[in-house]
Chains A and B, each alone.
Chain A
Amino acid sequence: MRIKNRLLQLITVLPLLWILGSGCNKILDVKSSNLINESNAWSSINDARSALLGTYGLLRTALAENEANWLYGELRSGPFVAMNRPDLDAIINNKLNQSHDLLAEVSNWRKFYAVINSANLFIERSGEIMQKDPQYTKLNNSVDIAQMKAIIGITYFYMVRIWGDVPLLTKSYDGTFPQIPRSEAKAVLKFAEDQLKEAAPVLPYVYGDPNASYFPGFYYGADIFTWASALVTRNAAYAYLAHIAAWDNRYLDASVYADFVLNNGGRSGIVASTTFDLTRSDGFFLGQSSYQVFSLGFSWVDGEATPTGHIENLTLASPLIPRANPAIYIPDNRIVQIFTEPGDERFYIDPVTGTAYSSYFSNASSDLIIFSKIKVVGSGGVQQNTAGQTTNVLTKYSSPVIFTRLEEIKLLKAEALTVLGQRQDALDILNGLRANRGIKTEIITTDNLLEDIFRERQRELLGEAWGWYDQVRYKQIKNDDAAFNALRSKGGIYWPVAQEVMDNNPQIRQTEYWK
């Protein structure tokens, strides 16, 4: 009995000893399932893919959040007017120093620097994976690093167009927060160009093609269709280079870079689009395709469609989506001013019969005409609800953020040729593009060639975030608008820097015009 009692006592003390003996710190090491800590990162080929695509995703966020891509590129001084949206109205009328929440967010460049930081971190750290995972080859790593360099170049180019002078960060400074002042726009642009030029020869024309002559085989286990336009190809790099040169008013370079794309575009599957393709809800703007050169996608099939972050969220309204009014629209009289060419498939009113041919616009339930060139609701095409009605109740859009396409590059080439004096070649390109859109009249004189090219740009690229940048380049070439030159010299063509940015970095000074 006595022994039994002692035994019982011993048993009761055992849990105590177990706890003591098993090492408390080990118990307290818990693996987290919703984040990755430093010791688990950069160790396998999947980490490389996650971090690489994460950087692309951050660029997508930077451009899509608040529909920023269109606020920067489309709205300013554009044909669109805002409806019940004083914040958008302020952007359209270049009153960017009004203090709306939207303006404060859009004028903050943090989200672009997240891309820069992430890309720099990839360049610095991805080499570690090669040591840990033999599947991750040297070539794979060098192509990935080239993409990240290209992304850095692209991101700085976007920032220079938006803010002019921006701080130039060339490494990640991981975990430290140095205060770096703004660098001259020209220097930043030079850096961006160098990054892209360095990356371009390493980048393949296509990813995931087993038959490619350079960098063949599946890329991260996925095929050519999966990667179409989702990653920076050599052609995409040259497209950006061409625009960097043009923005910098170096049209000889721009012409050479654009030629590269025009000559090699086919190797990346870059071809022209018909008006029908361009304006269908399941055409050019649906998902990702090689036509899009480089696009940041919101694929419906992959569950990445979002309700905000698309131009549709600004321009569409009932009956296309269940919303009474669009946030922005183009007034009727402006539409008629822009689309004047007979036979234009995009929009044209026959003066004889009065019939309107419109694939860019549609009638809203209200009296407005809404801009519906891009209208990829859901999976595109006709959306039906449970009740079998054709409606777009679930307004998630899957159109990607696009930079350029073949027509745009051709127009840039024509623009460059015009500046360089090869006006007839430029005119041929322009007339070819116009014919593709069904315009019946051919331009025979080069007298107003530059104006004609930019008018065609406006018609062709409406809604693709080019309007404002085109205006800046046009006036830069013409150099005859004193008011604009004054605006430009003081930085009024740029966005102001958000107050929050300056609060957190005293080295940053506000752009002269917005002080």
Chain B
Amino acid sequence: MRKLLLAALVFWGACVHYASAEGHVRLNIVAACLFQDTIPATDTAAPDIRLAIDDYIKPVSTELAGKGDSVPLVLQRQMPLITVPQYIKGAAAGLYVQENTGEPGTVRQFMYLRGLPKPVRSIKDMYDVQPAVYVNGIPLIQDNPFIYNIQTYTVNPAGPATSLLATLSTDNIEQIRVVKDYKDAAFLGPYAANGAIYITTKAAAAGENRISVNSYMGYAQTPKITTINAAYEKDFRLPFYYKYGTAADLVSMPAYLSDSSNVSYYGPSNWSDRYYKNTPQYSVNASLTGGSERANFRFFGDYTRSVAGADQTKFDRYSGSFYINMMPTRWLTISSMINGSVLQRDRNKNFIDRFAEMRFLPNSKNPLAPNLMNYNAFLDFYDNTIDDNATSSIQGFWDLNVRLLRNLNYDARVAFDYNEGRRNVFWNSSLFDGSNYASNFFGFNQRLLLENTLNYKRDMANGDVLKFKGGISYTGDIQRYNYGIGYNGPNDYIKVNVVKGNKKEPGTYLVSKGFDVYSFTDKMQQRLMAFYGKAGYSFTNGLELGALVRSDGSSAMQPGNRWFVSYAFDGTYHLAPKIGAGLLSQLDLFASWGRIGNLRADQNIGAGPQYQSQLGWASYPILGSYNSFGTYSRPYNYGWVGYDIPWAYSSQLNAGTEIALFKDQLSLRLEWYNKDNKNVVFPSPVTAESGYRYEWKSGMVVNNTGLDLTIGAGLGDKDGGLSWNGDLNIGFNKNKLKALPDGSASVVADGRKLAVDKAIDQFWLLQNKGIYNADSEVPVNPSTHEVMTYKGIALKAGDPKWVDVNGDYNIDDKDRVLTGNYLPRISGGFTNQFVYKKFDLSFQMVFALKKYAMNQVASGYYGFIDRDNANTLEAVKEITYWEKTVNAGAYDLYNPWSQVHPYQVDQDIFMENASFVKLRSLSLGYEISNNTIARKMRRVYLYVTGTNLVSLSNYSGKDPELIEYNGYDTGYGMRLPKSFILGVKVDL
């Protein structure tokens, strides 16, 4: 028995060596342990029962919890956050999180882990570059971008467009690890090719029943903004009219500007009193943990409301989790989890969102009047409308861990993740030029996961430890939606698209009563099968070696290329014991190399040569029938898909060191990586005579290299005096296109150019060198004696001096140059905690540097003639048009009537440095532990937190973070709200 105990100890020393080393790491990097020293932030006191069992080998779901960068969650638990990207923002080196709107619960939040793995041609591609999010080993299923196939406008996906990562409360999360290294990611397989966010929830644990209650309440504050009215707007425009306009132009100035007696437009611009409001937000959650050593449980329930303080948007989450661990016999443990949540969202009232949903552009070019009376009257139209957005989500697993032999464990696991989204819309005729609109959306995503693992461990006579792990896993996904839209219903009282229900009349059965109806449905099915084996060997001298081989089969790949075999190797050398316990308390060197296959989100490549129903065009993609009959043809628009398309894969070399100094008071972790995404399938142009736009070819290579640096410090008196814990993380990243299919040097697609040896996130712009003040200044081609043209149109006075790069006296796409980058080359965060006696003061700063954005808002404001004439969704003016975001005099005074579009956005004058440093949160806490209370409660902690407090940036627009995924600032993003909350955490 003693032997066994010893073996178990050794095993733990080796098997979870990292975990013990990670004890240091966490302490140092994150100072999480220090946090816990000072503030017991956890409500799981006793360890997992299974840890007490001899020879217990962890199931897959918990194994990775001990690896990768851990995110310090202490401060996040004191902030009013709701989504996973928010929790990890600025909290790990190499991770960049962009919230491009403050609207609570929206899908518009993106994570980039170690750069950009492939070019983003449209919003659809963003789904392919996100890291996977795991909850207790379940890779969460996300929405599929196939919904965009039927959308004319891609402002938001149809349906509730609620983030599926908003289901978890920070108070239920034990830890979040950012898995970047392929040593660990390869173990997770293809889902983790872009890295993984590995979340472990708090577990059931034995002991007397313990209750924890967390709650906060606070307000999102109205921002300080400068509103403007038509007088301001007219003053802005008049210099253009005086300089370039004719008398007729002045007469045809939009009516809302020319009529200065119009109080709605010329009166006070106080719309913001209604748009922005101090809005309460709150959260309460409680957990109960307890049970015996043989059977224990945890229950968690949460209600949270999140708001933006703008446009009456809000988000509500109701969630509950239940965990049970059981050990019916000594050789068998059973654990299970159920997480359920319901998410509801009140969305913005943007025109853009509404028109995109309705696929309709209005006639009126006039913005809403900035006067509160008018704005109120407009909002009153919404009284009789419906816009319900609800998402339900449930995840769970059932895990069986069997000790077959003394050194052999078998783990079986069934897990599922299911979520469904509904959106019901009715907009009445007042909002829609006399017509009304109804739509109903239902969509679900479903994932089933079966996993079997065998674990073997052997202790060598000399103290070395050998471990084997082999596993099989199967994942089956089904995604589907039904979506019906109806126009012009009979009246504003019938808000639902009712259909005729008499089956005996097949001609009219299910035909709408009154609405002009269009309905859409689609289904996507994917399966993934994996076999893997992993071996690890730990020498007593501090060297650890590991190797992994896996074979993944995906239904999304072609039958001849279903399977992809990949490898990973790693080595770690713990040097510290050799050097001695002087200055260094830890010195590790580690390196790994691995390769992971990349999954596809569609079925097109796997099908090979195929037929689709594609008779539509860019502005109307949904046409698929001819003369009422469904049709199919080769996918001329989508592109030819041939045979023999191999798996795309990424391979990553990772090397680094981890150093701890002065008894772990200072620590440093430095990692260098070089990651190649290879065989990326990309649509390459083909001969037009084939009828196809593209051929999907593999062969693109994208490289990301960078450095991740984390410095931690825990200084000072830990026994009640002043102490300081700091954690600074910085990620340096740069990407490069290394090859295109067929060895081409460059390709132009969707207004972007990709060139080999250049970054894939660059802008493609004209260079502007000022203004032609007179016609005579325009250069003349000496050979033809014709003046320089812009796309064949002669340049005149008042037009920009664009640089004629190729010297052909015509400015066109060939004169555009690749410049700037929209992803930051440097990003990171800085977390600090000062503790003095029972007080603690924490703050988090996040930063993104060497990052640029295109100020499309300014382009649209200055190019007002083009905007007024354009019949596009981008030209629509929201109520926020009356907020001053553009300065007069910031650009040369070009002729806005000129046919060369002098203020077009794709020129370098609109590219701005969008680097920023933000004080994201500041929190002051106090621990109550006087004797009377302490007897009844284990812990009471009070705090007050402010979020989004200070932002430093040279960017002239609203916020350098509120920028679209492609680097263009369209002004869409709602401000990230400044908010204050007061919270309490109680452990009973």
Closest B residue to A24 using CB positions: B529
Return A501 CB to nearest CB of chain B, in Å. 4
Q: Which residues of A contact B562 (CB under 8 A)?
A: 25, 28
Are B472 and A309 in touch, CB under 8 angstroms? no
A-B contacts at CB below 8 angstroms, number = 276
Can you list, as one digit per residue, whether each of B793-815 has a CB less than 8 Å from chain A (1) or not (0)? 10000000000000000101100
Are B363 and A322 in touch, CB under 8 angstroms? yes
Are A393 and B687 in touch, CB under 8 angstroms? no
Q: Is the C-beta of A55 less than 8 angstroms from some C-beta in chain B? A: yes
Q: Is the C-beta of B332 less than 8 angstroms from some C-beta in chain A? A: yes
Q: Which residues of A contact B414 (CB under 8 A)?
A: 15
Closest A residue to B557 using CB positions: A28
**Bound form: Cα–Cα A179–B635 in Å:** 20
Q: Is the C-beta of A482 less than 8 angstroms from some C-beta in chain B? A: no
Q: Which residues of A contact B650 (CB under 8 A)?
A: none
**Bound form: Cα–Cα A178–B689 in Å:** 9
Can you list, as one digit per residue, whether each of B532-556 has a CB less than 8 Å from chain A (1) or not (0)? 0000000000000000000001110
Q: Is the C-beta of B351 less than 8 angstroms from some C-beta in chain A? A: no
Q: Is the C-beta of A175 less than 8 angstroms from some C-beta in chain B? A: yes
Decide if the interface of chain B is mainly helix, strand, loop or mixed: mixed
**Bound form: Cα–Cα A433–B783 in Å:** 54
Can you list, as one digit per residue, whether each of B134-167 has a CB less than 8 Å from chain A (1) or not (0)? 0000000000001001000000000000000000
Return A499 CB to nearest CB of chain B, in Å. 9
**Bound form: Cα–Cα A226–B363 in Å:** 35
Closest B residue to A114 using CB positions: B691
Indicate which residue in A66, A90, A99, A394 contacts B488 across the interface (CB closer than 8 Å): A394
Return B529 CB to nearest CB of chain A, in Å. 5
**Bound form: Cα–Cα A24–B615 in Å:** 37
Return A3 CB to nearest CB of chain B, in Å. 13
**Bound form: Cα–Cα A169–B690 in Å:** 9
Are B791 and A386 in touch, CB under 8 angstroms? no
Q: Which residues of A contact B523 (CB under 8 A)?
A: 33-34
Indicate which residue in B627, B634, B640, B812 contacts A297 across the interface (CB closer than 8 Å): B627
Are A505 and B632 in touch, CB under 8 angstroms? no
Are A12 and B516 in touch, CB under 8 angstroms? no
Q: Is the C-beta of A332 less than 8 angstroms from some C-beta in chain B? A: no
Q: Chain B interface: which of A105-113, A128-136, A240-248?
A: A105-113
Are B690 and A117 in touch, CB under 8 angstroms? yes
Q: Is the C-beta of A30 less than 8 angstroms from some C-beta in chain B? A: yes
Q: Which residues of A contact B329 (CB under 8 A)?
A: 5
A61/B617 contact (C-beta < 8 A), A114-B636, A116-B691 known: yes
Q: Chain B interface: which of A46-54, A186-194, A267-275, A450-458?
A: A46-54
Are B616 and A121 in touch, CB under 8 angstroms? no
A387/B629 contact (C-beta < 8 A), A28-B553, A100-B791, A117-B690 known: no
Q: Is the C-beta of A307 less than 8 angstroms from some C-beta in chain B? A: yes
Are A387 and B429 in touch, CB under 8 angstroms? yes
**Bound form: Cα–Cα A289–B488 in Å:** 27
Are A391 and B433 in touch, CB under 8 angstroms? yes
Q: Which residues of A contact B688 (CB under 8 A)?
A: 108-110, 113, 498, 500-501, 504-505
Are B472 and A20 in touch, CB under 8 angstroms? yes
**Bound form: Cα–Cα A109–B636 in Å:** 13
Are B529 and A27 in touch, CB under 8 angstroms? yes
Are B607 and A53 in touch, CB under 8 angstroms? no
Q: Is the C-beta of B376 less than 8 angstroms from some C-beta in chain A? A: no
Return A400 CB to nearest CB of chain B, in Å. 10
Closest B residue to A389 using CB positions: B434
Q: Is the C-beta of A503 less than 8 angstroms from some C-beta in chain B? A: yes
* B500-524 interface (Cβ within 8 A of A): 516, 518, 522-524
Q: Chain A interface: which of B299-307, B618-626, B763-771?
A: B618-626
Are A394 and B429 in touch, CB under 8 angstroms? no
**Bound form: Cα–Cα A5–B404 in Å:** 10
Indicate which residue in B404, B559, B617 contacts A309 across the interface (CB closer than 8 Å): B617
Q: Which residues of A contact B472 (CB under 8 A)?
A: 16, 19-20
Return B161 CB to nearest CB of chain A, in Å. 21
Q: Is the C-beta of A97 less than 8 angstroms from some C-beta in chain B? A: yes
Are A99 and B792 in touch, CB under 8 angstroms? yes
Are B634 and A386 in touch, CB under 8 angstroms? no
* A216-236 interface (Cβ within 8 A of B): 220, 222, 226-227, 230
**Bound form: Cα–Cα A28–B613 in Å:** 25
Are B615 and A60 in touch, CB under 8 angstroms? yes
Pick from B149, B623, B686, B690 the residue with the most CB of A within 10 Å: B690
**Bound form: Cα–Cα A394–B626 in Å:** 21
Are A386 and B685 in touch, CB under 8 angstroms? no
* A267-323 interface (Cβ within 8 A of B): 288, 297, 299, 301-304, 306-309, 318, 322-323
Are B689 and A307 in touch, CB under 8 angstroms? no
Q: Which residues of A contact B603 (CB under 8 A)?
A: 30, 32, 34-35
Q: Is the C-beta of B47 less than 8 angstroms from some C-beta in chain A? A: no
Q: How large is the interface on A (under 10, 10 to 19, 20 to 34, 35 or more residues)?
A: 35 or more
Q: Is the C-beta of B692 less than 8 angstroms from some C-beta in chain A? A: yes
* B668-713 interface (Cβ within 8 A of A): 685-693, 695
Q: Which residues of B contact A308 (CB under 8 A)?
A: 617, 619-620
Are B487 and A177 in touch, CB under 8 angstroms? no
**Bound form: Cα–Cα A64–B607 in Å:** 30
Are A386 and B429 in touch, CB under 8 angstroms? yes
Q: Which residues of B contact A114 (CB under 8 A)?
A: 633-634, 636, 691-692
Return A127 CB to nearest CB of chain B, in Å. 17
A37/B492 contact (C-beta < 8 A), A84-B869, A90-B792, A303-B518 known: no
Q: Which residues of A contact B436 (CB under 8 A)?
A: 386
Can you list, as one digit per residue, whether each of B595-639 has a CB less than 8 Å from chain A (1) or not (0)? 000000001101111111101110110010111111111111000
Q: Is the C-beta of B410 less than 8 angstroms from some C-beta in chain A? A: yes
Q: Which residues of A contact B635 (CB under 8 A)?
A: 35
Q: Which residues of A contact B869 (CB under 8 A)?
A: 84
Q: Which residues of A contact B331 (CB under 8 A)?
A: 5
Q: Which residues of B contact A35 (CB under 8 A)?
A: 603-604, 607, 610-612, 635
Are A504 and B607 in touch, CB under 8 angstroms? no
Pick from B489, B522, B607, B793 the residue with the most CB of A within 10 Å: B607
Q: Is the C-beta of A443 less than 8 angstroms from some C-beta in chain B? A: no
Are B628 and A226 in touch, CB under 8 angstroms? yes
Are B691 and A115 in touch, CB under 8 angstroms? yes
Are A55 and B633 in touch, CB under 8 angstroms? yes
Return A172 CB to nearest CB of chain B, in Å. 9
**Bound form: Cα–Cα A387–B434 in Å:** 5
Are B615 and A19 in touch, CB under 8 angstroms? no
Are A30 and B525 in touch, CB under 8 angstroms? yes
Return B150 CB to nearest CB of chain A, in Å. 10
Q: Which residues of A contact B813 (CB under 8 A)?
A: 99
Q: Which residues of B contact A306 (CB under 8 A)?
A: 620, 623
Indicate which residue in A37, A302, A394 contacts B625 across the interface (CB closer than 8 Å): A302
Q: Is the C-beta of B526 less than 8 angstroms from some C-beta in chain A? A: yes
Q: Which residues of A contact B490 (CB under 8 A)?
A: 386
Are A504 and B687 in touch, CB under 8 angstroms? yes
Are B628 and A179 in touch, CB under 8 angstroms? no
Are B488 and A169 in touch, CB under 8 angstroms? no
Are A394 and B526 in touch, CB under 8 angstroms? no
Q: Which residues of A contact B526 (CB under 8 A)?
A: 30
Indicate which residue in B363, B491, B626 contacts A54 across the interface (CB closer than 8 Å): B626
Can you list, as one digit per residue, whether each of B850-871 has a CB less than 8 Å from chain A (1) or not (0)? 0000000000000000000101
A-B contact pairs, 8 of them (CB 8 A): A15-B412, A15-B414, A35-B635, A58-B636, A117-B636, A386-B489, A393-B360, A504-B685
Contacts beyond the supplied A35-B603, A54-B615: 18 A-B pairs with Cβ under 8 Å: A19-B452, A27-B527, A28-B555, A28-B562, A34-B149, A36-B632, A37-B609, A49-B629, A56-B626, A57-B631, A117-B634, A118-B634, A177-B686, A230-B627, A303-B518, A391-B434, A393-B360, A393-B488
**Residues of chain B whose beta carbon lies under 8 Å from any beta carbon of chain A:** 146, 149, 329, 331-332, 360, 362-363, 365, 400, 402, 404, 410, 412, 414, 429, 432-436, 450, 452, 472, 474, 487-492, 516, 518, 522-527, 529, 553-555, 559, 562, 603-604, 606-613, 615-617, 619-620, 623, 625-636, 640, 642, 685-693, 695, 791-793, 810, 812-813, 869, 871, 899
The 3 A-B residue pairs with the shortest CB-CB distance, nearest first, are A98-B792, A322-B363, A114-B691
